[in-house]
Amino acid sequence: MEAEALATVRQISTAKQQAIWEEVAAGISAATAPVPSRRHLKTRVVIGAGTAAAAIVAVAITMSPSAAAWSAVPTQLTGSSLFQAENACRIQVNKLPYLEGRPPSDPLLSVLGEKRGTTTSVFLTDGHTIALCLGTKDSRYVGIETLPAPPGQNDAIHIDDANGGDLTPGTGTRFAYGRVSEGITEVIVKTTGGDSVTATCDGRFFMAWWPSGANVADVIGLDSSGRVVAQTRPAAAPAGAQSPTHRPA
């Protein structure tokens, strides 16, 4: 015997089914992606040690962002495009399997967002944690970590994470983020591979990523007139921690 359904039971449209499946598929893809090796994890913590123990809460990696369309100078997201990126990122972050049962206590809001080529990235924070979503529809990195202690008053540039994650271990995609003092309006990240990457800088945060395994060599802060007002470099990498400098095809 098949019972008759309640009046409020309804079929969901194919489009809605597809939208939900895409959410699920993205989560599956993130959950089954390779976890960084212990060597990578150790490297991150050691490099982060000089920056007040940035405890990694959760990191999920899918595929590498498209390197072909990468640009060293980003387009900053504002208005509705930032709002959309923020919402999409929040959904992804809240679904990280690692965060189950302990979602951020306050809403994660965007501090900055950017687009390099076809790749959109957005940075969210609730004041205690910081989350990054980086990627296109088919290629996404989602990560969250404890926001390191605020920079000291004398720090014109404070690098919170210089080894921003081996987004793609082996082929290399890295990011760095940090905070700057009030007068700094532009930040340039020089990599050990020789690249000069313009960071997105807003709300006293900066963030940059690049499609190579090169580490951060220098971070340069400029004021609104383009004058260099600060320069810093991350704590030395541990001995033997070679960083690949090739760029993926």
Partner 1 sequence: MKLWAYRGVTMFRDHVETDRHLWDRVQADDASAYETIFRRHVTAVHNFCAHRVGSYDVADDLTSTVFLEAWRCRRRLSVAAAGASPLLFGIAKNVCSQHLRRSKRQLLAIRRAPVESISLDHSSQVAEDVDNEKDLLAMRDALADLPADQRAVIELCLIGGLGVDAAAEDLKIPAGTVKSRLSRGRARLAVSLAEINASRTE
35 binds partner 1, rule: CB under 8 A: no
Closest by Cα among 64, 53, 47, 179 to 112? 179
Binding mask 81-120 for partner 1 (x = CB under 8 A): ----------x---x-x--xx-------------------
Q: ∠ at Cα 93 (191, 237), nearest 5°?
A: 25
Q: Compute the least distance from the CB of residue 208 to partner 1, in Å.
A: 27
Question: How far apart, in whole angstroms, are the C-alpha atoms of residue 133 and residue 231?
Answer: 27
For helices 79-94 and 14-32, angle between their N-to-C axes, nearest 10 degrees: 60
Q: Name the segment binding partner 1 (CB under 8 A); options: 6-14, 156-164, 177-185, 218-226.
A: 6-14
H-only helix segments in the chain: 14-32, 38-49, 79-94
Closest by Cα among 176, 193, 175, 188 to 243? 193
Site residues (CB under 8 A) for partner 1, limited to 154-213: none
Site residues (CB under 8 A) for partner 1, limited to 9-28: 9-12, 16-17, 19-21, 23-25, 27-28
Nearer to partner 1, 7 or 239 (CB): 7
Footprint of partner 1 (CB under 8 A):
1-12, 16-17, 19-21, 23-25, 27-29, 31-32, 91, 95, 97, 100-101, 138
